[in-house]
Structure 1
Amino acid sequence: MTRLSAITPSGHAHLGNHLGAIRRWATQGRPGDLYFVSDLHAMTVSYNPARLRVLSRELLAVLVAAGIEPDQVFVQSDLARELGALSWILECTCSYGEAARMTQFKQKSEGQGMVRLGLMTYPVLMAADILLQGAAEVPVGDDQAQHVELARSLARRFNQTYGEVFTVPSAVMPPTAARVRDLADPARKMSKSTQDSAGTVFILDDPDLVQRKIKRANTDSLNRVEYRPDEQPGLANLLEILSACTDTRPKDLAEQYASYGAVKAATADAVVEVLRPVRERALELLADPAELDRIRKEGAHRAAERGAHRLSSAMRLAGIGS
């Protein structure tokens, strides 16, 4: 049973990405699981092409460096021809109403000067990602569950109208992940696309920079080391990060330290050690373009091969192609 997960290169991968998803993929993933860099999804809003290319390579290196097997990773745009063909078939299976009612489209299009058509249609591209690889399970949060439901609807509709081709996928809730908040503003999540990097620890940050960012984290003036997320969100964020790094409950950690400074120092040390092997291996891969290109090329070849029969069958049944 194939499980498919993706991460979009909208910015540099950060600590929250690692603790919340990437590390879990590496340690808890199954042999048949697939992970990809969804660079085509990053094009739905304004972006810099050169930066997108750099971020995609960097994220691929991070996935492999974290311990995900190279034969389980690929970059989405390397299947642009296959996905383009399948997306068109699925767009012709999807209704305008289905695409327009997607909640994320409504939210992200508000206040934008120019709304790209791709912002509306990318859930269909996401369906193509899933259906091309024959994924049976797609771990997603609440914000993406609606998109997987669209993929289910399109798979069923195509199968019933033209013939059985696609596995009907299911959305599954991933295990509870670490809640990593911005160090400077714990009211918001740590983000790849943040404009102010002071509160974001990136996976490839130098250890000294990681130390400085965490030790400057926003806390409060109560000067009480207790785990109270509502009353002390900044301190709770540090304790939750330390908890994820040490596999110790935040409440238990709060009892071990007498000051905010001690919590910050312990958290900084733990984060540096958790990220160190990933950072070092990722930098090695980025410094060896030939090896990273080899991994990427082989990943693309395997992903294309996995989907070739489904795509050719879908095209034949839809009445197109030779």
Structure 2
Amino acid sequence: MSDTTFTPRVFSGIQPSGNLHLGNYLGALKRFVDWQDRDVESIYCMVDLHAITVWQDPSNLRQATRELCAGFIAAGIDPEKSILINQSQVPEHAQLAWIFNCVARMGWMQRMTQFKDKAGKNAQNASLGLLAYPSLMAADILIYHATHVPVGEDQKQHLELTRDIATKFNHDYGVDFFPLTEPVIEGAATRVMSLRDGSKKMSKSDASDASRINMTDDAEAIAKKIRKAKTDPDALPSEAKGLEERPEARNLVNIYAALNEQSVDQVLADVGGKQFSEFKPMLVDLAVAKLAPISTEMARLMQHPDEIDKILTRGSERARAITAPILRQTYDIVGLIPPVEA
């Protein structure tokens, strides 16, 4: 671990791929708000450069980026408290990524399970950007000297690579410049499952819209999906171990616990013994109370795309006050000649 003391700073990002859903909210957005309220400097990013590692329709990408920004704000991210950006407006991300492309090794990239999953059997046809994706992710984090990154389990390997890149850079150049960023994986509902199949992760790509609660769903849609969510005929247990072989029951209890900021055991202490005919209306009321105001605010914000663009522009200006000096110092360490400041 580095001996240098780095200012605590949180960074995380989400791809603007459209169709934000409950899993994104409980697994990411809600966590981001929690970090913001801990009075730690936080930067949250719409990683649009990552999105184009596979082809995107340009108009859809712009729409999805603005919708994601609206989702951040509606969920409780204050663009004055946190720095809210889209990645492409802060060019230091891509500039540092090139330095890291020259530090990281091919073997490291080829071992990344997400590349194998996304490239499939035809890896030779995948974009070079998809292979180098983890190097850009490392740059996203380290261009801010971020010390903590809230991530899902599926990104943990990329965080380990970020630490490897920081370690190799520091070793190669005999410096103590980049921090070894800590992943933060917390909470029962970091994996929210499908409402139609408790063994599958909730996903925007599922053919059935009934499998997920979209962050754009209104109160009526939220209530309808929960009422129709798959369950089993047994009463709820009074302890968490009673949910082990009941994926749908476990998923709904996890969702209730996360929305109500309780542990699963606390929820089951209250609802153990109840049938789903009693529990589902409780979940409906809670979900509508927590989520409907978010969808309403997102819809309002999306009526004013120019205001969203101003927020992102202001965020990029604040971000570059951090990233430009760090990139300048990186260039100096590597031996590149940065432009002379006016």
CA apart distance, 1:295: 0.9
2: CA distance between counterparts of 1:37 and 1:16? Answer: 17
2:198 corresponds to = 186
Q: Does 1:89 align with 2:99?
A: yes
**Contact 2:11–2:43, Cα closer than 8 Å, also in 1:** yes
CA apart distance, 1:163: 5.8
**Contact 1:105–1:120, Cα closer than 8 Å, also in 2:** yes
The number of residues matched between the two structures is 319
One-letter identity of the residue aligned with 2:250: A
Q: 2:291 aligns with which of 264, 272, 275?
A: 275
Q: Does 1:210 align with 2:247?
A: no
**Contact 2:218–2:292, Cα closer than 8 Å, also in 1:** no
One-letter identity of the residue aligned with 1:95: R
1:122-141, aligned counterparts within 5 Å?
Answer: 122-141=133-152
Q: Does 1:230 align with 2:230?
A: no
Provide TM-score, normalisation by structure 1: 0.90
1:163-202, aligned counterparts within 5 Å?
Answer: 164=175, 166-178=177-189, 179-202=191-214
CA apart distance, 1:124: 0.3
SS of structure 2 residue aligned to 1:183? coil
2:72 corresponds to = 63
SS of structure 1 residue aligned to 2:186? coil
**Contact 1:210–1:268, Cα closer than 8 Å, also in 2:** yes
SS of structure 1 residue aligned to 2:12? strand
2:111 corresponds to = 101
1: CA distance between counterparts of 2:204 and 2:45? Answer: 17
CA apart distance, 1:244: 2.1
One-letter identity of the residue aligned with 1:275: L
CA apart distance, 1:207: 1.1
After superposition, the CA RMSD in angstroms is 2.2
**Contact 2:103–2:169, Cα closer than 8 Å, also in 1:** yes
1: CA distance between counterparts of 2:188 and 2:87? Answer: 25
**Contact 1:138–1:169, Cα closer than 8 Å, also in 2:** no
SS of structure 1 residue aligned to 2:44? strand
1: CA distance between counterparts of 2:62 and 2:243? Answer: 38
One-letter identity of the residue aligned with 2:301: L
Describe the superposition over 1:133-157 as per-residue Cα deviations: whole angstroms up to 9, x where unpaired: 1112223344322222222232233
CA apart distance, 1:105: 1.6
Q: Does 1:241 align with 2:250?
A: no
SS of structure 1 residue aligned to 2:41? coil
CA apart distance, 1:116: 1.9
CA apart distance, 1:169: 2.7
- After alignment, is 179-188 or 118-127 more displaced? 179-188
One-letter identity of the residue aligned with 1:290: D
**Identical aligned residues as a percent:** 37
SS of structure 2 residue aligned to 1:35? strand
One-letter identity of the residue aligned with 1:299: G
Q: 2:268 aligns with which of 226, 241, 251?
A: 251
**Contact 1:165–1:313, Cα closer than 8 Å, also in 2:** no
2: CA distance between counterparts of 1:153 and 1:28? Answer: 25
SS of structure 1 residue aligned to 2:149? strand
CA apart distance, 1:214: 0.9
Q: 1:8 aligns with which of 15, 20, 23?
A: 15
2: CA distance between counterparts of 1:20 and 1:256? Answer: 28
CA apart distance, 1:162: 3.6
Describe the superposition over 1:104-138 as per-residue Cα deviations: whole angstroms up to 9, x where unpaired: 22233223573222221010000110111111222
1: CA distance between counterparts of 2:184 and 2:92? Answer: 28
2: CA distance between counterparts of 1:188 and 1:4? Answer: 28
2:335 corresponds to = 319
Provide TM-score, normalisation by structure 2: 0.85
**Contact 1:184–1:217, Cα closer than 8 Å, also in 2:** yes
CA apart distance, 1:13: 1.4
- After alignment, is 189-198 or 303-312 more displaced? 189-198
Runs of 4+ in 1 over 4 A off after TM superposition: none
CA apart distance, 1:6: 1.4
2: CA distance between counterparts of 1:134 and 1:12? Answer: 31
CA apart distance, 1:173: 2.9
1:54 corresponds to = 63
